[in-house]
Amino acid sequence: MTAGLPFNIPFLAVVALISIGLFIILTQRNLIKLVMGIVIMESGVNLFLVSLGYRTGGIVPIFTHAPEGVMVLPVPQALTLTSIVIGVATTALMLSLIMLTYRHTGDIDAEKSRRLKG
């Protein structure tokens, strides 16, 4: 995939996703958009973990009847699965708390729905 190309596309995609996610978290006041930014950043980090394991010309890491050649590393794939599941749980919790905040304050703007400051 990266052979023959002058730059490493997966890592460029990771940088793009993480910076877009970070930009959204820093500037968007709407709480739902903030959660979307966190999810985009999580996707960027998961893509980073998976693309770490790639070896050029590698094959699927399954031992049974494996042909000769270098295998892609399976450990980052396991780490990414764990991370995706944790991301789902975190997103579910964040979205349910936003729902409750809307019920209490009638607003999902980060500035207008805050009660605690100082």
Partner 1 sequence: MDSLVTHSSILAIAIPLLAAFIVPLVSKVGDKARNTVVIGALALAEFLVIILARDIYLNGLHVYTLGAAATDLTIPEHYMVPVRIILEVDAMSVFMGIITTTISLAGAIYSISFMKEETGGDRFYTLLLLLAVGMLGLVFTGDMFNFFVFLEILSISGAALAAFRTRFGDATEGGFKYIVISAVGALVVLFAVGILYSQYNLLSIAALAQAIQYTALDKIALALLVVALAMKLASVPLHMWAPDTYSVAPAGTTPMIYVASQACLYGLFRVLFSLYGVSLDTLTIGWVVIILGVLSMFVGVTMAVHQSDIKRLMAYHAISQSGYMLLGIGVGLAVLADPQALASYGREAISGGIFHIINNALYKGLLFLTAEALFFALGTRDLNKMGGMFRNMKYTAIFFIIGALAISGVPPFNGFTSKLMIYESVYNFSPVLAVIAMLVSILTLASFTKAFQSAFTGPALPQHDNVREVPKPMLIGMGILAVAIVFFSLFPSLVVDTIVTPATDALIDQAGYIGAVMGGA
Partner 2 sequence: MASLSTWSPIVLVVAFLILAAVAYFFRSRGEPRYKEGTAQTQVFLAGEEAPEPDKRHIRAHNMYWGFFQALKRYYETTMNAHTGIINDYIIWFTSVVAITAVIVFIAGMV
- Where are the alpha helices (H) located in 1-118, listed in sequence order? 9-27, 31-52, 75-105
- By the rule CB under 8 A, 40 interacts with partner 1: no
Chosen from partner 2, partner 1, none, partner binding at 40 (C-beta under 5 to 8 Å by type): none
Residues that bind partner 2 in the complex, under the rule CB under 8 A: 22, 25-29, 31, 34, 110-111, 114, 116-118
Residue recorded with tokens 């980052």? 76
- By the rule CB under 8 A, 32 interacts with partner 1: no
User: Shortest approach of partner 2 to residue 80 CB, angstroms?
Assistant: 23
Q: Which is nearer to partner 1, 59 or 105 (CB)?
A: 105
Contact 49, 39 (CB under 8 A): no
Rounded alpha-carbon distances, angstroms, from residue 35 to 54, 56, 61, 71? 30, 35, 34, 36
- By the rule CB under 8 A, 105 interacts with partner 1: yes
**Pairwise CA distance, residues 41 & 21, whole Å:** 5
**Pairwise CA distance, residues 55 & 72, whole Å:** 5
Torsion over CA of 72, 45, 19 and 107, rounded to 10 degrees? 150
User: Shortest approach of partner 1 to residue 40 CB, angstroms?
Assistant: 11
Q: Which is nearer to partner 1, 65 or 82 (CB)?
A: 82
- Note the residues at the interface with partner 1 (CB under 8 A): 18, 25, 31, 34, 38, 41-42, 45, 48-49, 52, 73, 75-76, 79, 82-83, 86, 89-90, 93-94, 97-98, 100-101, 104-105, 113-116, 118
